[in-house]
Structure 1
Amino acid sequence: MDFALLHPDPDDAGWLRPVSPSAALAQRLHPIEREIQERRRHSVELVDSFEPFMDISAQDPPTTHAITVLEGSTRINAAIDVATAECRTEVLTVQPGGGRSEDILSKGLERGKAVVDRGVSIRTLYQHTVRHHQGTFAYAERLASGVEIRTLEELVERMLIFDQTVAFIPAKDDRTAALELRHPGLISYLTRVFEQLWQRATPLLEEIQYDPTPAGISGVQRSIAQLLVEGHVDDSIARRLGMNVRTCRAHIAKLNATLGSNSRAQLGYLIALSGILDSDS
């Protein structure tokens, strides 16, 4: 009965008549084959519908994560370690701020030596304030064979570029998040920014050539004066010039004494009057 090999006798309701096995099989197979044919037809329609999109994607290069957000120092350092291990030609780094702690320099030395020992070159930009930090000079001497260090008064935020294929920049001011960039256009743009800064920078072991200023005002104080006139507060000036706030305020105090100022408002007026910011002074 399950295979439909028997069916009720129309002449005698109490009896069952046998059915030819081939006929019973055909009867069972017919709806299955019809379903199979319908599915095949549907699959052909799907292939035809997707074919134009497949042709388009076949022409595109393999997709990569152009921008990846890295949260937390553990994940950031892990990604940088991977990029460092895969680097084969050159590392470009921008490191704003003053001198680093012994622990940071020690870790940087370990990572730097691993890179330099593979024949990879490193170019690093610091701010002028590291010139007063002995630890930075010791770090440079330990990596002298494969590392070039130059300094500028002001720098953009921290940046690392490996082989011009992957870059890392901060995503938050407190540096608890970073962006890992792999888009060729972004990498090319950041590399050009680095090269422009590099051309303006002074090698670490060369003396900085400041423009002449009135007697008693240093090049650093002139830079602070410029930022004061632009309206920056002490914290902002210190951060931009890579020094601590106490040092910044000491320079401002010297500016006050040199120009004879008794207030911040008067100092701005006297800076403008003194001509120390004139390009030809």
Structure 2
Amino acid sequence: MAGHRTEEHPHGADRLCEAGDRVYSRAVRRGRVPRPDAEPVPCLMELALLHPDPDDMDWLVPTSPQEVMTRLLRGVYDEVRASQRRMGSAVAAVEWYAALGPQPARAPGAQGPLAGSAIRVLDGDARIQGALDEATQNCTAEVLTVQPGGIRPEHELTEGLHRAMALRGRGVRMRDLYTHVARHGQGLLNYLELMGDAVEARTLDEVFDRLILFDRTVAFIPANTDRTMALELRHPALVNYLGTVFERLWRLAIPLTAPLPDTGIEGISHREQSIAALLAEGHQDAVIAERLGISVRTCRAHIARLSETLGAASRTQLGVRIAQVGLDRTRASSSGSSQSSQSPESSESAVIRVAGVSGAPGRQSPTGR
């Protein structure tokens, strides 16, 4: 109940000032306090938290905390009722105006939102989860998902398990795209083992932001960075576009049951190869880490090992070595590019981009610290 003391004590019984908190707590512990103790905190008398002892007017006795709680809850209840009345009035006014315009028609047998709501904003976890549950109920054939980031936490997998099990029970086919880092999560492996043939998973160096697509008719994507809001998309052009993007990534992805391909360069891992290619594109360490689903610290550790393997003592030298061994061409070749070599100009550009990732060439350590 502690708060900040002011001369007027502008607070309620639910947030006493510091001095009032001390005196009231003492009164509750001891059963009463001398009247002079309460003179610096008249708020206790004003809020009826203390009242004179009928047996001795020089002392004050506390109102029981249970009675104070009842009084507070009654006030909160009254405030809620008033808010509900105001909300009802606002809804009635909006509905009256809405009735003046043409009403969107629902297709025969259609469920869920009206046909006119091609894009719907879902604010808050409750609305998002409710919309996902409804889409799960109506899904009959296929679910496509993209899961960015690294190893998926157990609680994320558990949250959507009831939907996945319901889909599996109806014979719905599910395909999931993850980053390569997700391969190291035991929770994901347990989930896939539980789902059996109902789910097929593949991985890529990086994927775009989260996506859930049901039956090529409704898609869900984040609407803000912290994912407390989402967009429900039912516009056919948008849904088809997202489905096409998914299929192209799916063809490039590697099945989770298959090992990652060898880089062909001794001492350089597949992840370091991906980091080298992103460095060549000029990305900062933090951006690379986010795109590959790893921490910045892990990313910089890989850059340090990459520099050691290639014998580079600076970012400038690292850019030169990456271009010399062809690591700056990895992403182009993995995307189906027909170019097998680079011009001197393009290799020089890659060197400049790597050197400039963390500052001026030659002034940064290979790890970017």
TM-score, scaled relative to structure 1: 0.74
Aligned counterpart, 2:268: 217
State the match for 1:229 in structure 2.
280
Q: Which amino acid aligns with 1:256?
A: S
Rounded to whole Å, the distance in 1 between the matches of 2:263 and 2:245 is 24
Of all paired residues, the percent bearing the same amino acid is 54
SS of residue paired to 1:125: strand
Of the candidates 123, 133, 151, which is equivalent to residue 99 of structure 1? Answer: 151
Is structure 2 residue 330 aligned with structure 1 residue 275? no
Q: Structure 2 unaligned runs (5+)?
A: 1-101, 109-113, 334-339, 342-369
Superposed displacement of residue 127, structure 1: 0.9
Task: Give the secondary-structure state (helix, strand or coil) at the position aligned to 1:161.
Answer: strand
User: 2:185, 2:297 → 1: CA distance?
Assistant: 16
Superposed, 1:17-28 pairs within 5 Å as: none
CA displacement, residues 88-124 of structure 1 (integer Å, 9 cap, x when unaligned): 1111101111111111112222221111112111111
- Deviation, 1:63, is 4.1
CA deviations on 1:28-65 (whole Å, 9 max, x unpaired) are xxxxxxxxxxxxxxxxxxxxxxxxxx9xx99x998421
Choose the corresponding residue for 1:188, options 215, 237, 240: 240
The corresponding residue for 2:196 is: 144
TM-score by length of 2: 0.57
Compute the RMSD of aligned alpha carbons: 2.3
Q: Which structure would you say has the larger Rg?
A: 1
Corresponding residue of 1:23:
none
Q: How far has the Cα of 1:211 moved from its partner?
A: 4.5
* CA contact 1:121–1:147 (8 Å) conserved in 2: yes
1:239 to 276, 290, 295: 290
Could you say which residue in structure 1 is the equivalent of 2:175? 123
CA contact (8 A) 2:263 2:269 kept: no
- Contact map agreement 2:119 2:235 (CA 8 A) in 1: yes
When structure 1 is superposed on structure 2, of 177-186 and 243-252 the one drifting more is 243-252
1:70 corresponding residue in structure 2: 122
Give the Cα–Cα distance (whole angstroms) in 1 for the partners of residues 316 and 263 of structure 2: 25
One-letter amino acid of the counterpart of residue 209, structure 1: P
Greater mean deviation of Cα atoms: 117-126 or 259-268: 259-268
Secondary structure of the corresponding residue to residue 169 of structure 1: strand
**What do the CA deviations read for 1:232-277 (whole angstroms, capped 9, x no partner)?**
1111101111222222111111011112222333322332233333
| Matched pairs, number | 224
Q: Offset at 1:134?
A: 1.4
How far, CA to CA, are the matches of 2:169 and 2:115 in structure 1? 32
2:137 alignment partner AA: A
8 Å Cα contact 2:204/2:254 also seen in 1: yes
Judge which range, 240-249 or 123-132, deviates more.
Answer: 240-249
CA distance in 1, matches of 2:115, 2:270: 49
Distance 2:228 2:275 in 1: 29
Partner of 2:212: 160
Runs of 4+ in 1 over 6 A off after TM superposition: none
Q: How does 1:84-95 map to 2 (within 5 A)?
A: 84-95=136-147
In 2, the alpha carbon distance for the partners of 1:74 and 1:233 equals 36
Check conservation: 1:64, 1:182, Cα contact below 8 A: no
Opposite residue 283 of structure 2, the aligned amino acid is: H
Q: Partner residue of 1:111? A: 163
Deviation at 1:195, TM superposition (A): 0.9
Which ranges of structure 1 fall in alignment gaps of 5 or more residues? 1-53
Of structures 1 and 2, the one scoring higher in RCO (CA 8 A, sep 6+) is: 1
Distance 1:276 1:100 in 2: 29
Instruction: Tell me by how many angstroms 1:84 deviates.
Output: 1.1
Q: CA deviation at 1:152?
A: 1.1
- The amino acid that maps onto 2:190 is A
Confirm or deny: 8 A CA contact 1:109 1:143 kept in the other structure: no
Residue 238 of structure 1 aligns with an amino acid whose one-letter code is A
